[in-house]
Amino acid sequence: MIRSFLKKYYNIGMNSLPPRLATHLQFLRYHGRLARLGNPRTLNDHLAARKLAWTPEDMRLVKLSDKIAVKDFVTAALGPGWVAPILWQGTDLADCPPLPFPYVIKTNHGSERNVFVFEDKDLVGAREKCAEWLARRTPRRLSEEWYNHIEPRILVEPFFGQDGQAPVDYKFFCFDDQIPCIQVDTNRFGDHKRCFYNSEWKKLDFGNHYPLETADLPRPKHLDAMLEAARILVEGFEFVRIDFYDLPSRALFGEMTFCPTSSFGAFRPPEIDDWLGDVWKNANVK
């Protein structure tokens, strides 16, 4: 109860501050120092500078962060079969017709907003939850304002996991055509763990945010296809994290993220942040 109380008023306080000051204070909390906004050195410095510099004139981040609109972009760039079909979309879940199980209900303008539906009882409270999500905006303290320019909608997609478990998430850190690491998230809605591999599928000795996944994970069947797709989708950006799933029959695009963990995800050890910042600096973006 005390932790919940403190978190609530911490967030209220941060949301009341100017975005630059709020970013510095949160950066200090998670990284132990202020962000170098004028002369970024680490990956998270660059991410903090990117989000504070963004203006609505750059609508690319709005379109490509929209879980509905990005599907057209990916299909045009990669061809058919790379995106999950939309079974239904709208603004009130009551309008959604009965759909074959299993499926996932989510919104297009934020993360960690999912309802997994395997049977009728999983729909209890889903309409109210979706209405709450549609009304929610990205907090001012995070300064990822492009999400607040997305018209909020509900979308329903097929569930692609097995035995009720969500598929493993492969998140490619793309700096122009360079992909120095792939973040792998296992058991995302349970005992969430994380580790990193390089593009040759050699495990890397560092972690980030969640507990380290110590098991050696098999090389994804469609790793080469995902690498090729990521290099196409990142074109024109210094950095984008591009997520995929490795299904038995094909690779499937997940989403594009322009400021992972809102620049507050600390690496273990912190030197990894410097290494990735050097890769950003050397990205050959025209």
Chain-wide mean pLDDT for the chain?
95
Cis omega (within 30 of 0) on the bond before 167? no
Predicted confidence at residue 30, as pLDDT, reads: 96
The three-class DSSP label of residue 231 is helix
Q: How many CB atoms lie within 10 A of CB 143?
A: 23
Residue 83 region by backbone torsions, left for phi larger than 0, else alpha for psi between -120 and 50, else beta: beta
Threshold 0.85, pTM exceeds:
yes
Tell me the average pLDDT across 153-172. 93
Cis omega (within 30 of 0) on the bond before 152? no
pLDDT at 253 over 80: yes
**For the segment 54-104, what is each residue's pLDDT rounded down to a tens digit?**
999 999 999 999 999 999 999 999 999 999 999 999 999 999 999 999 999
Confidence of residue 133 (pLDDT cuts 50, 70, 90): very high
Predicted confidence at residue 1, as pLDDT, reads: 77
Predicted confidence at residue 284, as pLDDT, reads: 63
Task: Kindly report which listed range (122-126, 169-173, 185-189, 197-201) carries the lowest average pLDDT score.
Answer: 185-189
Q: State how far Cα 70 lies from the chain centre.
A: 13
Confidence of residue 129 (pLDDT cuts 50, 70, 90): very high
Tell me the average pLDDT across 104-133. 95
Q: State how far Cα 102 lies from the chain centre.
A: 23
**DSSP E strands: which ranges in the chain?**
88-90, 103-107, 114-117, 154-158, 169-175, 178-186, 193-197, 203-204, 207-208, 240-246, 251-257, 267-268
Tell me the average pLDDT across 140-166. 94
Predicted confidence at residue 163, as pLDDT, reads: 82
Q: Enumerate the CATH 3.30.1490 domain ranges in the chain, comma separated.
A: 85-159
Q: Enumerate the CATH 3.30.470.20 domain ranges in the chain, comma separated.
A: 30-83+162-286
Tell me the average pLDDT across 48-57. 97
**For the segment 192-249, what is each residue's pLDDT rounded down to a tens digit?**
999 999 999 999 999 998 999 999 999 999 999 999 999 999 999 999 999 999 999 9
- Distance between CA atoms of residues 182 and 170, nearest Å: 6
**What is the CATH number that goes with domain 85-159?**
3.30.1490
pLDDT at 107 over 70: yes
CA distances from 276 to 40, 67, 74, 116, 142 (A): 11, 26, 25, 34, 21
Tell me the average pLDDT across 4-26. 93
* Residue of 200, 177, 175, 195 whose CA lies nearest to 185: 195
Could you tell me the fold of the domain covering 30-83+162-286?
A: D-amino Acid Aminotransferase; Chain A, domain 1 (3.30.470)
Predicted confidence at residue 75, as pLDDT, reads: 98
pLDDT at 286 over 70: no
- The fraction of the chain above a pLDDT of 70, given in percent, is 99
